[in-house]
Amino acid sequence: MKNNETESYMFVLSGLSDLPSLQLPLFLVFLLVYLMTLTGNLLIVLLICTDSHLQTPMYFFLGTLACLDMSCSSVTTPRMLFDLYTQNRLISVEACITQIYFYFFFIASEIVLLAVMSYDRYVAICHPLQYIQIMHWKACVLLVSVALIFGLLHALPHTILLINLTFCSSKLLQSFFCDIPQLLKVSCSDTFINLLFILFCGILFGGGILFLTFYPYIILLKTILKIPSRDMRSKAFYTCSSHLTVVFIFYGTSFFNYFDPNAKDSRAASVFYAVLTPLLNPLIYSLRNQDLKKSLTRSVRHLKISQS
């Protein structure tokens, strides 16, 4: 922000709808979605922390994913709920850029974590005898730390580039939360460097991490197909299916949100990407994971016994 005019500049978020009659229904729907997101992810974290059967590298990464989902949802959804309830959609440049920083930090960390989880599944299935030696707790903590550091380093340059922009055209952001494409549209500065950096990150980091996420599954597929037992093959496919489903949803929605040139109004994609995906992840893992189901059953049984 280069001058006093920019420092006092206020954006107006378009929100999800301009119809007054829809504000309360939308508020109630997304409040329910947010509460379900927090409950589902927090339940996964609590089960992993309290059940000794789930204190393994795979569930350590899953618990970290749940924390990132809660954090990502908490960056965008409360602000959306506030706007729906108060119908006050003004947001300062400083608050907007701060929201973008934390949003990109959590999203970038999650991208790397999904690649780490792919590697974990590769080691578990292709090198089961060496799994404990390779994926020991120090290695797991190091991999999660790398994901978080990458998120920090990825979000920082975007934020610095945004701080150097000036805003003097339209104040309206066609979104319910602050996002880089929307800010670039209303900036009167030259945004070529910003766009170039987004493209650079998308190709180099996004493409590179996408390769690291899917390449282990190519090897996994070859290994699984060589397993003689049909039941063992099915179990191996079932183990990987939850993670692959999450990866496809994550990358699919992010592509439509950031790289679809025909998307004139990306609010629908943004809702799915920023609000619904953190809710879907715990549902996908809990519905397709027998260990989590058994852990939840044991916890409910112990709770009933303690109350009786």
Residue 64: count of CB within 10 angstroms of its CB: 23
3-state secondary structure at position 22: helix
3-state secondary structure at position 172: strand
Note whether 225 and 233 are within 8 A (CB).
yes
38-50 tens-digit pLDDT: 999 999 999 999 9
Sign of CA dihedral 252, 254, 256, 258: negative
> What pLDDT shows up at residue 71?
96
Mean pLDDT on 239-259: 77
> What pLDDT shows up at residue 241?
80
**C-alpha to C-alpha distance for 147 and 115, rounded to whole angstroms:** 9
Q: 203-209 contacts: CB < 8 A, separation 24 or more?
A: 205/108, 205/154, 206/111, 209/111, 209/112, 209/115
Taking only Cα atoms into account, the Rg of the chain, rounded to an integer number of angstroms, comes to 21
195-204 tens-digit pLDDT: 898 888 888 8
Hey, which residues does 92 pair with through a beta bridge? Answer: 10
Question: What is the domain range of residue 171?
Answer: 4-307
**Confidence at 80, pLDDT banded by 50, 70, 90:** very high
> What pLDDT shows up at residue 169?
63
Sign of CA dihedral 183, 184, 189, 191: positive
Site of tokens 């974290």: 45
> What pLDDT shows up at residue 6?
46
3-state secondary structure at position 93: helix
> What pLDDT shows up at residue 60?
95
Q: Assign residue 68 the CATH number of its domain.
A: 1.20.1070.10
The count of structural domains within the chain is 1
Mean pLDDT, the chain, rounded, equals 85
Note whether 89 and 291 are within 8 A (CB).
no
3-state secondary structure at position 7: helix
Amino acid at 117: M
91-126 tens-digit pLDDT: 999 999 999 999 999 999 999 999 999 999 999 888
Joined tokens for residue 45: 């974290």
Residue 55: phi and psi, rounded to 5, are -90, 70
> What pLDDT shows up at residue 270?
79
Q: 254-263 contacts: CB < 8 A, separation 24 or more?
A: 254/107, 258/181, 258/198, 258/202, 259/202
pTM: 0.88
**C-alpha to C-alpha distance for 162 and 97, rounded to whole angstroms:** 7
Amino acid at 139: A
**C-alpha to C-alpha distance for 279 and 194, rounded to whole angstroms:** 31
Residue ranges of alpha helices (H) inside the chain are 4-7, 20-50, 57-86, 93-126, 131-134, 137-163, 180-185, 192-200, 207-225, 230-258, 267-271, 277-288, 290-307
More confident residue, 70 or 167: 70
> What pLDDT shows up at residue 252?
79
Give the total residue count for the chain: 308
Note whether 51 and 299 are within 8 A (CB).
yes
**Confidence at 262, pLDDT banded by 50, 70, 90:** low
Residue 229: count of CB within 10 angstroms of its CB: 9
**C-alpha to C-alpha distance for 76 and 100, rounded to whole angstroms:** 9
Mean pLDDT on 5-31: 82
207-227 tens-digit pLDDT: 889 899 989 988 888 888 887
172-195 tens-digit pLDDT: 888 889 988 888 888 888 889 998
> What pLDDT shows up at residue 292?
84
> What pLDDT shows up at residue 265?
55
